[in-house]
Every structure is written in structure tokens, then in C-alpha cells.
A and B are shown apart, each in its own frame.
Chain A
Amino acid sequence: KAGVTQTPRYLIKTRGQQVTLSCSPISGHRSVSWYQQTPGQGLQFLFEYFSETQRNKGNFPGRFSGRQFSNSRSEMNVSTLELGDSALYLCASSLGLAPDQFFGPGTRLTVL
């Protein structure tokens, strides 16, 4: 079974721009969660989607948004990028009824 895939793997943007990251979960998984990983703050939960609905949300500003499609693929969008948004963005998928999560390799975002 293929694992979680994330595209692109690397991104460089400038302040004020916006960015969209994509995540394809493991086949059959209906839940997708997004996390931001930085050296200073560790792994922080952004939001979780299940069957195209956002079920849970972390404490991030409204500039961070996401959505999930009918095939369970998910996208995350960050608008008006700030230098502090530079991080590794990780996507994790699960069946949705239990919290066993499997992570993708991440997208490394650098904001200049």
C-alpha cells in the first residue's frame, strides 16, 4: 500500500505571497491532519478533516486554511505569508475512527 504523499517537497516564497500544499492519504483513509513543525515549537496541530468536513482545529490564525476533497485528498493554504511561517508542514492520515496516524514526508516551506 502506498504511503502518504505530499507535494511539493520544497517551496520558497516571499513575504506576502500565498501558498497551497497538497496531501494524498493512504488509500482507504478518510481523515487527514495537518501539522506545522519548527525547531522552536515542535509539532503543532493545525486542523483535521474527515469526509470533507473540518472536525478539529488548532490555535493558528485564519491565514491558515484547508479543505478536503471527496477522494480524501487534502490541501492546505497559507495566505499573506510571514517569515515565521517557515517550517516543515506535515500531513498525517488515518482511517478516521481511531487516532492511529501515518505521516507523509512533509513540505519544507521557506519564506524569504
Chain B
Amino acid sequence: GENVEQHPSTLSVQEGDSAVIKCTYSDSASNYFPWYKQELGKGPQLIIDIRSNVGEKKDQRIAVTLNKTAKHFSLHITETQPEDSAVYFCAASTVSAGGFKTIFGAGTRLFVKA
């Protein structure tokens, strides 16, 4: 079946460094790729997304890249801050006339050390 692989499962960086999280998806029909941040005791929060007709998107310190040929996409966080510490999930959605279906990666726990 369809799946999304996410690496690494844990990432520890020094404050101010960059963090990169990578995901690979299997369903070639996937056309929407969101990233979520989940803090302790809260639901996932959408932080950035990219659609299949775009190769890169940036929002301040966060950027996402997509390679449809290789079926992988990545999240880049620059100038990390302690408040970036959380679990990050990538996802791949397939949109059709019948609605959409979203598969999530297993998550990456990011620690930013002050």
C-alpha cells in the first residue's frame, strides 16, 4: 500500500544551526505535501505545504523542496531556535474527484540545544 518514509526519527542541533528532515513517498498520484509541527499536548499544526507543480517554497526560516521524479521532499529550518523543538511530520496527499487521502510519515523529534 501507499506509505511515506521519514528520516531521521530524531535530530539534535545546536541553536542557530540548520535542520533538514527528508521524506519519501510511494504513491505517484500524490500531489500535495504538507508539513506539520506537533508540540507536547497539542494537535499537529500546519507550518508549510507544497503542491506538485512547485519545486520549492520558502516562508521565513522554513523551506520545503520537492523532487517529483525521485518522489522525495524535504523540510529545511535555518537559524534554529529552542522553540523549534517539537515533533515534525511530513505527509503526502492524493487529491481526486472523490476527495483526498493523506498518509503521514512517522515523525522526527527535533531537539534544539541552547
Please report the C-alpha to C-alpha distance between residue A50 and residue B41 in the assembled complex, in whole angstroms.
Answer: 27
Q: How far is the CB of B94 from chain A (nearest CB, A)?
A: 8
In chain A between 14 and 50, which residues have their CB closer than 8 angstroms to a CB of chain B?
Answer: 31, 33, 35, 42-45, 48, 50
Which of A44, A56, A90 has the most chain B CB atoms inside 10 A of its CB? Answer: A56
Give the interface centre of A4, A42, A45, A48 by most chain B CB atoms within 10 Å.
Answer: A42
Report B-chain residues with C-beta under 8 Å of the C-beta of A90.
Answer: 43-44
Q: Is B18 interfacial (CB-CB < 8 Å)?
A: no
Are A56 and B104 within 8 A (Cβ)? no
Chain B residue nearest to A103 in the complex (CB): B43
Chain B residue at smallest Cβ distance from A44? B104
Chain B CB within 8 A of A101 CB: yes
State the interface size on chain A (CB cutoff 8 A).
24
Pick the contact of B34 from A4, A55, A100 — CB < 8 Å? A100
A103 touches B93 (CB 8 A): no
A residues less than 8 Å from B101 (CB atoms): 45, 48, 56
- Closest residue of A by beta carbon distance from B99: A55
Interface mask (B25-50 → A, CB under 8 Å = 1, otherwise 0): 00000001010100001111110010
Known contacts A90-B44, A98-B95, A100-B49; A42 and B104 CB within 8 A of each other? yes
Given contacts A99-B32, A103-B36, contact A42 B105 (CB under 8 A): yes
User: In the complex, given contacts A100-B34, A105-B41, A105-B42, what are 10 additional A-B residue pairs having Cβ atoms less than 8 angstroms apart?
Assistant: A42-B89, A42-B106, A43-B44, A43-B104, A48-B101, A56-B98, A100-B49, A103-B44, A103-B45, A106-B42
Provide a sorted-by-A list of 9 A–B residue pairs whose CB atoms are within 8 angstroms: A33-B102, A43-B89, A43-B104, A43-B107, A92-B43, A98-B32, A99-B102, A100-B32, A100-B46
